[in-house]
Each structure stands twice: as structure tokens, then as C-alpha cells.
A and B are shown apart, each in its own frame.
Chain A
Amino acid sequence: MLIKNKADFSSADITPESIYLRRREFIGASLIGSAALMTGTNARADAELARLNFKKTTRDTSGGFSTDEALTPYDDVKRYNNFYEFGMDKGDPEKYAGGLTTMPWSVAMEGEIAKPGNYPLEDILSWVDLEERIYRLRCVEAWSMVIPWVGFSLAALIKKVQPTSKANYVQFVTLERPAEMPGQRSRFSTIDWPYVEGLRMDEAMHPLTLLAVGVYGRVLPNQNGAPLRLVVPWKYGFKSIKSIVKIRFLEKQPPTTWQQLAPSEYGFYANVNPQVDHPRWSQKSERRLPTTLFSPNRIPTQRFNGYAEQVAGLYKGMDLSRYY
């Protein structure tokens, strides 16, 4: 899937005539899609998820907002997840997340901001324009995917709530609802729910940092973090927290779930770095999914997951083997 095009539009932008003739159906469908997201969806595994209305990527790779690498198929994106709230196996989230209620949904914005409040998701969506971005996702477990997200810059939301000069960090909190999240009921899990993550303010404001509401042009499946999740493409996947219910603006660096659990293995920054191994496995290479038994598809891991040009400046002068 190599689309390298310096023209203003690529052949992918030209609507095939057959689809043009059916345009009314699509307009109708996309309206239903945004309506579905506005009012929330209770996605069932068997039902097709609603389509979203968004600005499609031009697949222009400059700036890191897109990539010409082959996409990981939609089915694999949906069935291979780490979302421990629904269980430890990669297939558990797809199996058990169907019962999660994502309607109504609101996000509490607190701390060092001028406009704190509990904002309904439909209000937040009315402030922003949705766009598509194709990012590499590198899991700390040494596998990776290429995923077309639909979302908006976190910066757009942050500007809206007007952070004060004391807002140095942003903390994110995932939903805690054991009744619908079987993983939170496990007595053997060492995770202290709810799951929390954090970013430095400049990381949060970086144009690549995305709040996603969809994938593959449709509303996020529950197992992928519906209805609202973070995507920070230059960091290990666990930083990209799912099903966010709270965003807190803080003066001091907040604790994060994995760092609390195993501080020698997971740092606050968690930037993708082939030179700093996880104590229990190497980070020098990754398996780009999907793989098969006959083609393990191992590729070298890139510094900052290939986004060094865009983000390395954020960490100038920092010893990244110490701040891993």
C-alpha cells in the first residue's frame, strides 16, 4: 500500500463514479454516524459500528500525521487488545467489552484550569472537527500496528478549558465500573484501579497527540477504548489510555498505573526507544502485525517510534535512559 504523491490530491481522493452515484446513502449514513456518537452508542460485537463524519487523511506523510505503511486490518485492530479492565488475554477485551455502557458519557475536567466542569461528550465534540490520522502504535510488549484513527488534537480541548500557569502536567483517568469491567473484579490482578496515565503539558499540547473517537472511519469499538481515548504515537501503547472519564491539570507529575506497579520497568515518559530495553525483554525490534508462522515480520524499532523529527525536541538535554 505505497501511496507516494506530491500532488494536492491523490487518486484515492477521487470518488469512484459508482460510489458518487450512491452519495446520498453515504451522507445519510455519516449523519447517522455522528448522531450515534453524539448520543453515544452501546456497541454490540455483532452490529456494525456507526460511520463517522470526518476529514479524510491525504496520506501526506510530512509532519507525522499519516504514513504510507500498510494498515493493520480492521479485524486485527478489533480482536487484539491490551485492555486489562476486560481481562488479561489479548482476545478478552473483544469478548467482554460489548456490555460496556458508553452512553451517556462525560469527561470531568479539573485542576489548574479556568473552566473546570463535567463536560458531556457531545459538547466536547461540538467544539472540534474530526480528522483521520494514520499512526504507528508500538506496544511495550514488542508488537506494533498501523492504525487509521479518527479524532481531534488534545490541544484543541485543552485550549478550550484554559489551563492556568500552574498546569504543568495532565493526568487522565479511565472509567472504573467493575460491574461492566470483569478485569476490575479479578482478585489476582495487581493493578490498583482505576487506570491512570499522564503527560507533561508540552507533550499534551503537541499537535501529534490525539484524542480518538473512531477507527477505520467508524465509532471506536468498546475494546479499543470507546468512546474517547488518547493516542500518543511516539510513546508505548500503555500511555494511550482508554475510555477516559477524567482529565486533571496538575502542577506536579502525577503517578501512572504501570510506573506504580513496576517502576524499574515502566517510566512516566515511556517514549519508544530501541536503546533502552525493558528489563525483561529487548526493545530493539518489533513484530509488525499481522504476522504468520511463516513470516514473523520482525522490523527494527525506531527512536520515538519514527516520530523523532517531530518530538525529539521535547526531550532535549534529558538523559532518556534515566527518564525512560
Chain B
Amino acid sequence: MPLSLLIFVLALLPLPLMVWQSSQGPDPGKALVLLSGLWAIRLLIITLALTPIKRWLGFIAVLRYRRMMGLYVWFYASLHLVTVLTYLLGWSWAVFLEEFSERPYMALGITAWLLLLPLGLTSNRWMMKKLGRRWKRLHRLVYVIAILACGHFIWLIRSDYAEALVYALLMLVLLLSRLPARTRSLLISE
């Protein structure tokens, strides 16, 4: 199908873009770490936006691309992890264990990535059938992942919160939109 191919290519474009952007500075490894993390969060926001878009705009076709977007989140998050291990930690286990235990944002990020694993591995028709109703429950983990990812991002800021706040706010809106209507009206009227 040409449309799904188009979306597949569009979601892949950030990869060559970030390699090119990072090559523009003297510290491309660090730049790639930042850009891959940023794109993982952006793709996560797009993925989370598909369900509300369906509900608000009645645009049912979008759901067909939710799995692909979710897998792209996994892809960019994995790229982020690999670049952190390569360029910041130098693949040293001692450094990794120290960073993981001493830096809370690191623990948040790794946990988010580990939670993505079962979601990625079960993102196929066979596992959906096999897990039945449990599949949906399992995939609600994405909300936990979204919160962890925001925490991970905000924790790393040195002084300017603007960009991270925009992403966190979008995430918040998308999470709130999933609360049952009655809970939502209670929250808003208060």
C-alpha cells in the first residue's frame, strides 16, 4: 500500500537527518545521543496522538499506522541507548553500572527502554491473538513509558526548560484525553 510506505519512509527520515545534523559540529557522538533521544520522544507523542485523533476526528485509518509508529519509538529509543553506550559510556560495564545506580535520570531512561521491549516483541498479529485481552493490558505500559521518558528528559536540563516543557505538556494532554470522560470533567471543574 503506497500510503503506509510513505509513512514508513517519513518516519525513517529523522535518521539520515540526525546523522547529517550531528556531522555539522565537532562533537557528533554527543549530538547523535541528543537527537535520537529527542526523536524517540517525538515519535512517542505521535504514537500516543493517533488514538485521540481517531476519537476526535473520526479518522479511523490512523490506527492502521499505530503499530508502525510504536515500533519506530522502539527503534529510536534503541538507537539512543546504543549511542549513549558508545559515545558517553565507551561500552564499559563498570561505568554503566555506576551511572545506572548513581544517576536517577539514567535509571528512568533504561527502565523506559526495558518496558518498551515487551511492547515491541508483542507488536505482531500472532502475539496479539495469543495474548488476547491481556495484550491490551500489557500495552497500557506505554503510559508508564511516556511518564518515565518525560522525567528522563526534564531531569537532564541545565537551565532552559522551554523545549522539554512543550513535550511534557503535549504528553500530559494526550494522557489526560485517555481518562474516562467523568474523571476528566471532575479534574477540570475543580
* Interface pair B29/A188, CB less than 8 Å apart: no
* Min CB gap B82→A, angstroms: 12
Task: State the majority secondary structure of interface residues on B.
Answer: helix
Q: Are A292 and B28 in contact (CB under 8 A)?
A: yes
Complex formed: what's the CA distance from A221 to B155 in Å? 33
Residue B127 at the chain A interface, CB threshold 8 Å: no
B26→A186 contact, CB < 8 A = no
Q: Is A189 an interface residue (CB 8 A)?
A: yes
Are B159 and A290 within 8 A (Cβ)? no
Q: Which of B2-21 contact A (CB under 8 A)?
A: 19
Interface size range of chain B in the complex: 20 to 34
Report the number of A-B residue pairs with Cβ-Cβ less than 8 Å: 73
**B28 partner, pick from A84, A277, A284, A293, beta carbons under 8 A:** A293
**With A76-B26, A293-B29 in contact, is A188–B160 under 8 Å at CB?**
yes
In the complex, A259 has a CB within 8 A of chain B: no
Complex interface: chain B residues within 8 A of A277 (CB): 102
Q: Which of B142-161 contact A (CB under 8 A)?
A: 155-156, 158-161
Please state if A143 and B27 are interface contacts (CB–CB under 8 Å).
yes
Interface residues of B in 102-139 (CB under 8 A from A): 102-103, 105
Q: Which residues of B contact A188 (CB under 8 A)?
A: 160-162, 165
B residues 64-78 in Cβ contact with A at 8 Å = none
Chain B: CB-nearest residue to A140: B158
How many Å lie between the Cα of A173 and that of B30 in the bound state?
A: 30
**Does A189 lie within 8 Å of B160, measured CB to CB?**
yes
The residue on B at minimum CB distance from A278 is: B103
Within 8 A of B (CB), among A168-215: 186-191
Tell me which residues across on chain B come within 8 A of A128, comparing CB atoms.
none
How far is it, in angstroms, between the C-alpha of A291 and the C-alpha of B23 when the chains are bound? 10
**Cβ proximity bits A273-293 to B, threshold 8 Å, 1 near / 0 not:** 000010111101101011111
A88 contacts B by Cβ under 8 Å: yes
Contact in complex: B105, A287 (CB < 8 Å): no
Residue of B nearest to A265 (CB): B158
Instruction: Looking at the assembled complex, report how far the CB atom of B96 sits from the nearest CB atom of chain A, in whole angstroms.
Output: 11
Known: A188-B161, A280-B105, A289-B26. 7 other contacts (CB 8 A): A88-B158, A91-B25, A143-B27, A186-B160, A186-B162, A280-B156, A296-B87
List residues of chain B with CB under 8 Å of any chain A CB.
19, 22-30, 32, 86-88, 90, 95, 98-99, 102-103, 105, 155-156, 158-162, 165
The 4 closest A-B pairs by CB, nearest first: A188-B162, A290-B26, A76-B26, A289-B26
Q: Which residues of A contact B (CB under 8 A)?
A: 72-73, 76, 79-80, 84, 88, 90-91, 143, 186-191, 261, 277, 279-282, 284-285, 287, 289-293, 296, 298
> Can you spell out 14 A-B residue pairs with CB atoms less than 8 angstroms apart?
A72-B26, A79-B26, A90-B25, A188-B162, A189-B159, A189-B160, A190-B159, A277-B102, A280-B103, A280-B155, A289-B26, A290-B26, A296-B29, A296-B87
